[in-house]
Amino acid sequence: MSSTADTLTIDIPVIDIAPFIANEAGSADVVRAVEAACRNLGFLLVTGHGVPKDVTARLYDTARAFFDEPQEWKVGQGRGTSEIGGVAFSPIADEALAATMGLKTPGDFKESLNYGPRLPGDAWPSKPSGLESAFEDYFSEMEILAGHLRRIFCSAIGLAPDHFEKEFVDHLSALRVINYPEQHVEPEPGQLRAGVHTDYGFMTILRSEASQGGLQVRNRDGEWLDAPSIEGAYVINIGDAFMRWTNDEWVSTPHRVANPPSGYGGTARRQSIPFFLNPSKDTVIECLPAFAGQGAKYEPITYGEYIKVKTGQAFSKG
Ligand SMILES: O=C(O)CCC(=O)C(=O)O
Ligand SMILES: [Fe+2]
């Protein structure tokens, strides 16, 4: 389970979206390629996205400096829920993502910093300097990229390009930097870096990192596949809310982060940066007419109601 040796590396499509962003010839090919990937696997890699390297590097580096601080200091940081737009720190084993799939496992072997302009957090730590602005600047870049991707989705489905925009005026998106520490002791039975789960929202834009013990994706046949990590490319995956909007035709695929194989423990630190693109609280998730041919599979639900159930499961201590 923890080894990557028994899994295959998938052919996740790598799609250059620059022609779509620039509205050039080739735009329609981008849309078709994205649609095919979202229907088949629910995962793709994008290049030509326009996110500046230095904004990404600054967030990666400042967050790393935070994670390098002693545990005793870190656990006192970002633990409240008092400030909207503050930061929240989640220490090792705080969250067990597999609980969202009804599985009982030890907490995930990871720690994370979490931020969203409309999400609760606490005061930003006094060090490292520049942490808050690094999060804000990267968040703004993700909003721009998410806008391009939403328009690609609309184009694929035959919707007006701005179809979803009103749902994202007050969006509840979350930016998270995750540190998967070196594993000097064997993890507990059933403990992974991140347990199997699907993401909850519209889509996730992930800055992955190649390492021993990385992202794995379960395809529609139930096989676990190692997701490739390409420097400078973003991994995009569909979330549950969008899967419901499409009546399950676009797939929110289960994924997990494997442990490094024994022996790699001390050299296998990994840091990833997911941006969870979530609609506003009152957005009604309801089968889109284009997918309603055989009847809607799910009752409409607001995003606020859906997310409450999922986060309650992931952080429950029962
Ligand atoms: O770290 C990764 O590569 C993926 C993390 C993830 O799937 C999540 O936090 O939802
Ligand atoms: Fe995920």
Task: Give pLDDT tens digits for 26-63.
Answer: 999 999 999 999 999 999 999 999 999 999 999 999 99
Instruction: Give the residue, out of 108, 110, 111, 178, with the most ligand 1 atoms within 8 A of its beta carbon, to mutate for a pocket test.
Output: 178
How much distance in Å is there from the Cα of 290 to the middle of ligand 1? 30
Domain assignment present for residue 4? The answer is no
Domain assignment present for residue 8? The answer is no
Domain assignment present for residue 141? The answer is yes
> What is the rounded CA–CA span in Å between residue 120 and residue 122?
7
With b for 16 or more beta-carbon neighbours within 10 A and e for fewer, the 51-62 pattern comes to: beeebbebbbeb
The pLDDT mean for the chain works out to 92
How many domains is the chain partitioned into structurally? Answer: 1
pTM to 2 decimal places: 0.95
**pLDDT tens-digit map of 71-115:** 999 999 988 678 899 999 999 999 999 999 999 999 999 999 999
Domain assignment present for residue 120? The answer is yes
pLDDT of residue 7: 57
Domain assignment present for residue 166? The answer is yes
Domain assignment present for residue 3? The answer is no
Which of ligand 1's atoms lies nearest the C-alpha of 176?
9
Range of the domain at 50: 14-314
Answer for the pair 31, 44: CB distance below 8 angstroms, yes or no: no
Output the six-digit token pair for 84: 């909207």
In this structure, the residues whose C-beta lies within 6 A of any atom of ligand 1 are: 178, 194, 199, 206, 208, 215, 255, 257, 272, 274
CATH classification of the domain holding 298: 2.60.120.330
Task: Tell me how far apart the terminal alpha carbons of the chain are, to the nearest angstrom.
Answer: 24
Domain assignment present for residue 253? The answer is yes
pLDDT of residue 1: 34
Domain assignment present for residue 83? The answer is yes
The reply to whether ipTM tops 0.90 is yes
Task: Report the SS3 class of residue 307.
Answer: helix
* Residue 318 predicted with pLDDT over 80: no
